[in-house]
């Protein structure tokens, strides 16, 4: 089944529950073979069209198209879910929970939970490392002490420094004719050498060309990479050596964080990074392509509300 190509077409198409069900089936089981999410059996039959549920002949359990996906146990219909996925997958600066709530006619709390479940589907989880020519850089997001209420400051200090800022590491593989540039992101504990080296090691293949700024935490990478630096105190470009690609991505990320999500908490920040990285890495496709890819990744992923609000999350 072909997906709609525009937002307007998506609203009309997914307003029909039968279309939602059939479309999700085509993405979850592209070969047409329904598989029981409980016991992974293909011996499934007894589909009830009125209730849209199947009966597994092996484990004797019933299941719907939502079971085993990010939609499981949600009282919201697929029409709202798929509309929300289209919005978040294609909104360049993201979509806040308040905006989703107004658009879908649901509560802000439900929209917030829905948004995080959709971001879970955006997690690419690729084991392939970046290679070729890679730019690495770090930045901070969060709130400055000058903008915080004194009761919320982590410690009483003089001045207005960034005491509540969170460091983020990013690596960008420069694009080629066959492959557009790709980015990987990680929330750091600090900008010290062990954390920076850990991020580089996690994302960049040994032997790659690695371009960074002159931060001393990058020292010692020459043994595994062809490492060159550019000192921003003097210049930003030295031939091919620069980090302008990552700087461009940081500007996109910060417009999303500052303009839409307004200082997300540290424990949820990685989800917003996954969202922005997904849109950036799939930017060469159209809205329908990004939506198709997002929907094809909903299976086998689930997060409960109590996990989201848990202090250990």
Provide the strand spans (E) within the chain: 44-48, 53-56, 62-64, 133-143, 164-173, 182-187, 209-213, 226-230
Mean pLDDT computed over every residue of the chain: 90
Q: Rounded to whole angstroms, how far apart are CA atoms 143 and 148?
A: 7
Map residue 299 onto helix, strand or coil.
strand
Residue 153 inside a domain? The answer is yes
Q: Which residue bears the tokens 């955006």?
A: 122
Residue 36 inside a domain? The answer is yes
Query: What tens digit of pLDDT does each residue of 199-239 get?
Result: 999 999 999 999 999 999 999 999 999 999 999 989 999 99
Residue 14 inside a domain? The answer is yes
Residue 2 inside a domain? The answer is no
Residue 269 inside a domain? The answer is no
Answer for the pair 291, 179: CB distance below 8 angstroms, yes or no.
no
Residues 109 and 169 occupy one common structural domain: no
The predicted structure's pLDDT at residue 262: 86
Which domain covers residue 176, as residue numbers? 133-263
Residues 159 and 50 occupy one common structural domain: no
pLDDT tier for residue 263 given thresholds of 50, 70 and 90:
confident
pLDDT tier for residue 152 given thresholds of 50, 70 and 90:
low
Residues 142 and 109 occupy one common structural domain: no
The predicted structure's pLDDT at residue 1: 58
Query: What tens digit of pLDDT does each residue of 70-120 get?
Result: 999 999 999 999 999 999 999 999 999 999 999 999 999 999 999 999 999
Query: What tens digit of pLDDT does each residue of 45-64 get?
Result: 888 888 899 999 999 999 99
Which of 91, 96, 37 lies closest to 64, judged by CA? 37
The predicted structure's pLDDT at residue 313: 53
Q: Which residue bears the tokens 């509300």?
A: 305
Residues 149 and 117 occupy one common structural domain: no
Residue 264: is its pLDDT beyond 90?
Answer: no
Residue 153: is its pLDDT beyond 50?
Answer: yes
Q: 152 or 38: whose pLDDT is higher?
A: 38
Residues 154 and 94 occupy one common structural domain: no
Residues 164 and 214 occupy one common structural domain: yes
Q: What is the average pLDDT across 289-310?
A: 92
Residues 137 and 258 occupy one common structural domain: yes
Q: Rounded to whole angstroms, how far apart are CA atoms 10 and 134?
A: 37
All residues at 6 or more sequence positions from 285 whose CB lies less than 8 Å from its CB, including other chains: 293
Q: Rounded to whole angstroms, how far apart are CA atoms 66 and 77?
A: 10
Q: Which structure tokens are listed for 8?
A: 């307007």
The predicted structure's pLDDT at residue 2: 67
Residues 146 and 238 occupy one common structural domain: yes
Burial of 313 (0-12, 13-18, 19+ CB in 10 A): exposed
Q: What is the CA radius of gyration of the chain?
A: 22
**How many residues make up the chain in this entry?**
313
Residues 259 and 139 occupy one common structural domain: yes
The predicted structure's pLDDT at residue 142: 80
Q: At what angle do helices 108-122 and 97-104 cross, to 10 degrees?
A: 110
Residue 170: is its pLDDT beyond 70?
Answer: yes
CATH number (domain holding residue 176): 3.30.420
Q: Determine how many CB atoms are found less than 10 A away from the CB of residue 214.
A: 12
Residues 30 and 147 occupy one common structural domain: no
Q: What is the pTM of this model?
A: 0.89
Q: For residue 212, what are the β-bridge partners?
A: 229
pLDDT tier for residue 127 given thresholds of 50, 70 and 90:
confident
Q: 148 or 195: whose pLDDT is higher?
A: 195
Residue 282: is its pLDDT beyond 60?
Answer: yes
The predicted structure's pLDDT at residue 161: 46
Q: Which structure tokens are listed for 149?
A: 């209420």
Residue 255: is its pLDDT beyond 50?
Answer: yes
Residue 284 inside a domain? The answer is no
Residue 269: is its pLDDT beyond 80?
Answer: yes
Map residue 39 onto helix, strand or coil.
coil
Residue 160: is its pLDDT beyond 50?
Answer: no
Residues 165 and 109 occupy one common structural domain: no
Q: Which structure tokens are listed for 233?
A: 């105190």
Residue 275 inside a domain? The answer is no
Handedness of CA 142, 148, 154, 160 (dihedral sign): positive
The predicted structure's pLDDT at residue 159: 42
Q: Which strands make up the sheet holding 53-56, listed edge to edge? A: 44-48, 53-56, 62-64
Residues 172 and 235 occupy one common structural domain: yes
Residue 281 inside a domain? The answer is no
How many domains does the chain divide into?
2
């Amino acid at each position: 089944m072909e997906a709609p190509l525009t937002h307007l077409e998506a609203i009309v198409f997914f307003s029909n529950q039968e279309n939602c069900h059939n479309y999700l089936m085509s993405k979850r089981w592209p070969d047409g073979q329904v598989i029981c999410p409980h016991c992974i059996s293909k011996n499934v039959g007894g589909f009830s069209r009125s209730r849209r549920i199947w009966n597994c002949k092996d484990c004797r359990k019933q299941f719907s198209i939502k079971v085993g996906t990010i939609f499981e146990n949600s009282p919201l219909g697929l029409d709202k879910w798929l509309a929300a996925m289209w919005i978040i997958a294609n909104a360049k600066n993201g979509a806040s929970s308040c905006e989703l709530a107004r658009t879908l006619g649901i509560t802000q709390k439900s929209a917030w939970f829905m948004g995080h479940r959709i971001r879970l589907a955006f997690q690419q989880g690729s084991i392939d490392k970046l290679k070729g020519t890679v730019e690495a850089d770090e930045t901070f997001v969060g709130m400055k002490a000058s903008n915080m209420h004194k009761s919320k400051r982590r410690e009483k200090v003089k001045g207005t420094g960034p005491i509540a800022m969170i460091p983020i590491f990013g690596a960008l593989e420069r694009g080629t004719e066959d492959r557009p540039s790709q980015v990987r992101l990680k929330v750091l504990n600090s900008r010290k050498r062990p954390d920076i080296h850990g991020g580089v090691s996690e994302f960049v293949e040994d032997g790659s060309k690695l371009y960074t700024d002159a931060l001393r935490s990058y020292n010692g990478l020459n043994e595994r990479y062809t490492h060159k630096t550019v000192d921003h105190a003097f210049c930003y470009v030295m031939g091919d050596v620069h980090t302008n690609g990552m700087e461009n991505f940081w500007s996109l990320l910060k417009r999303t964080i500052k303009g839409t999500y307004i200082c997300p908490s540290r424990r949820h920040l990685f989800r917003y990074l996954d969202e922005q990285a997904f849109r950036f890495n799939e930017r060469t496709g159209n809205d329908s392509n990004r939506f198709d890819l997002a929907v094809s990744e909903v299976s086998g992923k689930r997060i409960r509300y109590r996990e989201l609000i848990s202090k250990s999350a």
